C-alpha cells in the first residue's frame, strides 16, 4: 500500500523521508498552492463573502505533480504545520486533489524527529475546519481592507501605496513614537557620586540618595548652581556607615521561548531582525544536514505561544544538567511555566531543541554562523529553565554625613550561579568592602555629573513585537511578516542602530487613515478582531457574521470618502 504524505517545504519533505519506509512518498507543496487571485478582489461580497480561490500560475506544475502522485497512491496524508495557516494549506490541497475535507486525513507534530513522526502516523486526525475558517476569515478581512483601501490611497496620495489591517496599525505605532521623540523637550538634572574609603583602605562608590531626610528623585537636582551648593556642604562634612542591610535573594530563569520572546531576544542579543530570526528558525526546524546523520530537525515548531515543555525534554534536560554540571544544578521536580496569553493555543510546546544531548558545540561545524548563534540561544534558554535558581547575596550600605546628607551603595555577590552558568543575564557581581555600622569613612572624591532626560527610543524589531503583543495585535505567525511588509513597502527604514524610523510617506498615509478610517487603525478594534478570529478557531463564532459586521460600515464610509 502506497501512502502520499504532503508537506509544505522541500527541506521538511527531505527530513521526514528518512524516517518513513518505501511505502511512503513525501512531496512538497512549496507553500500555498491555492489563494485569492492577485488581479481582482476574489471575494463575493454580495454572496456571503464567498472566496474565489485559484491555483496560482507559478504553482500549476506543483499542483499537477501532486494530483498525479495522489492517483498512484492508496492514501493521502496531509502533514503541514499545525497552526491555522498549515491547516488551511491542507484544506486547499484536499480541494485540489478532490478529497472531501471531512474525509481528509491529517497528521501533526511539533518537531521533525522519528519519535514524533511515528506517533503522528499512528494518530491521524480529520482536518480542523474551525481553524480553516479562522484562517479564511483573516485572509478575507486582509484582502477586503487591502484591496479596497489601497485604491483610496492611490487617488488621495500616490499610486502603488498599500494599506493593511495589521500593517497600518504597526505603521501608526512607529509614526506616533517618532512624533513623541520630536516633541520631546530634554530636562537637565544632576547626580552626585561619592567615593568612600573604609578603615581597610578599600574604596567603594555610593550615590547621593537623600537630603535633610527627603529621598532624592531623579530630577530633584536641577542645575549646576544647586549642585555646587550641595558640593560645598558635602566637602566640609564627616561621614559614617549609617546602616548595612544584607539580603539573600533567588533569581529564577525566564520561561522557554515562544515566538515573540524568541524574536525579541534574538534581536537584542544577536541583532537579528524578526524576519531573519524566523527564516533561521524555519531552517533549524525543517532540518539541517548533520554529516552522516543526514537532514535533522534541530528545534521544535517556532510559531507558538505556549510555554509547555514535553516530559521527554524535561527528563533528558535533568540528566544532562546532572552529568555536565553536577547534582546541585538539578531540580527535584520540573519547573513549569504558565502562559500569560489567554489565547495561547496554536501549538502545544515552547521552542526548544529536539534533542537536548545535541549541544550547540557538538553540531557547530554543520551550521552556518547565524544558524549556530540562534540554535545556541534556543538550547541554552530551554536547558536553563530546568536548572536551579541563582542565589545572590545583596548588600545595601547607607552612608550618612553629619549635616544630614545620605549616600547609598548597592552591591551583590553571586553565592551560587545556578542557571546563570549557561544563560547569564544582568546579574553581575558588584563587591562592596566589609564595613561596620557607625564606622567612620573618608570621602576620597565627589563626582558631580550632568545629565539630560532622553526621549523614548525608536522601536527595534524586539520592542515593536512586544508592543504588538501587549496590544493583542497579531499572533505568532504575523509579527515578522508585518514588520517585513511595512519595510518592503517603503513606510519605514532602519537607522544606524537598525531601529525603525518612518519615512515621509508613512506620516501622510497614517494621518489620512487615522482621520478617515479611525476604526481600521484603532489598536483596540484590531485586537478585538484578533480575539474574534480566535473565537472562530475555537468554534465559538461563525466567520461570515464577523466579516459582515466589519464590511458594511467600512464600505459605506469608504464610498463616502
Residues serving a catalytic function are 301
Where are the alpha helices (H) located in 290-354, listed in sequence order? 311-325
Cα 469 to Cα 344: distance, rounded to the nearest angstrom: 12
CA distances, 506 to each of 174, 242, 488, 515 (Å): 9, 56, 13, 14
Cα(196)–Cα(445) distance, integer angstroms: 7
Sheet architecture: strand order including 125-126: 24-28, 3-7, 75-78, 105-106, 125-126
Confirm if 346 and 303 have CB atoms less than 8 A apart: yes
Q: Cell 498549515 sits at which residue?
A: 86
Which residues lie closer than 8 Å to 156 by C-beta, 6 or more apart? Answer: 512
CA of 463: how far to CAs of 183, 260, 302, in Å? 20, 10, 19
Q: Exposed/middle/buried for 107, CB within 10 Å: 0-12, 13-18, 19+?
A: buried
β-bridge mates for residue 246, sequence order: 395
Cell of 491: 513606510
For residue 99, give the nearest of 66, 136, 137, 54 by alpha carbon: 66
CB 272 within 8 Å of CB 370: yes
User: What is the distance, to the nearest Å, from the Cα of residue 36 to the centroid of all Cα atoms in its chain?
Assistant: 29
**Pairwise CA distance, residues 194 & 445, whole Å:** 6
- Asked if residues 42 and 51 have their Cβ atoms less than 8 Å apart, the reply is yes
Contact 374, 284 (CB under 8 A): yes
**CA 14 from centroid of its chain's CA atoms:** 28
| Side-chain half-sphere exposure of 499, counting CA atoms within 13 A | 12
Q: Which three cell numbers mark 427?
A: 546579574
DSSP strands (E only) in 274-356: 288-289, 295-296
Check if the beta carbon of residue 483 is closer than 8 Å to that of residue 260.
Answer: no
Amino acid at each position: 500500500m502506497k501512502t502520499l504524505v504532503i508537506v509544505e517545504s522541500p527541506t521538511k519533505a527531505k527530513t521526514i523521508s528518512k524516517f518513513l519506509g518505501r511505502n511512503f512518498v513525501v512531496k512538497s507543496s512549496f507553500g500555498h498552492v491555492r489563494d485569492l487571485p492577485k488581479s481582482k478582489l476574489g471575494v463575493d461580497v454580495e454572496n456571503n463573502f464567498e472566496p474565489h480561490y485559484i491555483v496560482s500560475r507559478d504553482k500549476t506544475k506543483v499542483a499537477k505533480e501532486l494530483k498525479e502522485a495522489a492517483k498512484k497512491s492508496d492514501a493521502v496524508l496531509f502533514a503541514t504545520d499545525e497552526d491555522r495557516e498549515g491547516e488551511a494549506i491542507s484544506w486547499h490541497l484536499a480541494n485540489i486533489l478532490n478529497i472531501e475535507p471531512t474525509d481528509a486525513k491529517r497528521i501533526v507534530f511539533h518537531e521533525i524527529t522519528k519519535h514524533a513522526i511515528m506517533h503522528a502516523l499512528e494518530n491521524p486526525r480529520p482536518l480542523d475546519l474551525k481553524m480553516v475558517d479562522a484562517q479564511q476569515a483573516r485572509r478575507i478581512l486582509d484582502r477586503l481592507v487591502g484591496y479596497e483601501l489601497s485604491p483610496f490611497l492611490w487617488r488621495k496620495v500616490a499610486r502603488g501605496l498599500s494599506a493593511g489591517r495589521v500593517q497600518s496599525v504597526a505603521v501608526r505605532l512607529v509614526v506616533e513614537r517618532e512624533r513623541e521623540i520630536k516633541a520631546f523637550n530634554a530636562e537637565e538634572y544632576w547626580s552626585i557620586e561619592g567615593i568612600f574609603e573604609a578603615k581597610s583602605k578599600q574604596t567603594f562608590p555610593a550615590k547621593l540618595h537623600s537630603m535633610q531626610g527627603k529621598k532624592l528623585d531623579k530630577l530633584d537636582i536641577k542645575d549646576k548652581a544647586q549642585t555646587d551648593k550641595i558640593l560645598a556642604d558635602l566637602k566640609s562634612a564627616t561621614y559614617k556607615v549609617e546602616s548595612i542591610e544584607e539580603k539573600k535573594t533567588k533569581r529564577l530563569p525566564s520561561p522557554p521561548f515562544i515566538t515573540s520572546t524568541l524574536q525579541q531576544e534574538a534581536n537584542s542579543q544577536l541583532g537579528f531582525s524578526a524576519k531573519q530570526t524566523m527564516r533561521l528558525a524555519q531552517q533549524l526546524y525543517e532540518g539541517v544536514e548533520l554529516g552522516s546523520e543526514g537532514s535533522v530537525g534541530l528545534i521544535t515548531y517556532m510559531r507558538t505561544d505556549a510555554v509547555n515543555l514535553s516530559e521527554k525534554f524535561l527528563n533528558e534536560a535533568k540528566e544532562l544538567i546532572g552529568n555536565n554540571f553536577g547534582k546541585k544544578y538539578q531540580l527535584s521536580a520540573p519547573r513549569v511555566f504558565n502562559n500569560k496569553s489567554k489565547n495561547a493555543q496554536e501549538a502545544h510546546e515552547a521552542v526548544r531543541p529536539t534533542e537536548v544531548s545535541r549541544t550547540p558545540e557538538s553540531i557547530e561545524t554543520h551550521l552556518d554562523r547565524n544558524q549556530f548563534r540562534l540554535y545556541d540561544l534556543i538550547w541554552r534558554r530551554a536547558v536553563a529553565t530546568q536548572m536551579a535558581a541563582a542565589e545572590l547575596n545583596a548588600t545595601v550600605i547607607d552612608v550618612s554625613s553629619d549635616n544630614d546628607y545620605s549616600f547609598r551603595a548597592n552591591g551583590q555577590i553571586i553565592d551560587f550561579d545556578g542557571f546563570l552558568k549557561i544563560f547569564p543575564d544582568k546579574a553581575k557581581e558588584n563587591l562592596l568592602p566589609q564595613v561596620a555600622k557607625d564606622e567612620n569613612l573618608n570621602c576620597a572624591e565627589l563626582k558631580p555629573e550632568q545629565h539630560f532626560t532622553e526621549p523614548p527610543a525608536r522601536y527595534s524589531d524586539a520592542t515593536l513585537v512586544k508592543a504588538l503583543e501587549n496590544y493583542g495585535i497579531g499572533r505568532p505567525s504575523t509579527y515578522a511578516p508585518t514588520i517585513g511588509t511595512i519595510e518592503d513597502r517603503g513606510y519605514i527604514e532602519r537607522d544606524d542602530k537598525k531601529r525603525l524610523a518612518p519615512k515621509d510617506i508613512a506620516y501622510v498615509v497614517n494621518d489620512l487613515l487615522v482621520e478617515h478610517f479611525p476604526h481600521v487603525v484603532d489598536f483596540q478594534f484590531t485586537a478585538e478582531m484578533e480575539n474574534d478570529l480566535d473565537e472562530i478557531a475555537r468554534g465559538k463564532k461563525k466567520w461570515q457574521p464577523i466579516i459582515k459586521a466589519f464590511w458594511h460600515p467600512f464600505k459605506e464610509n469608504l464610498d463616502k470618502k
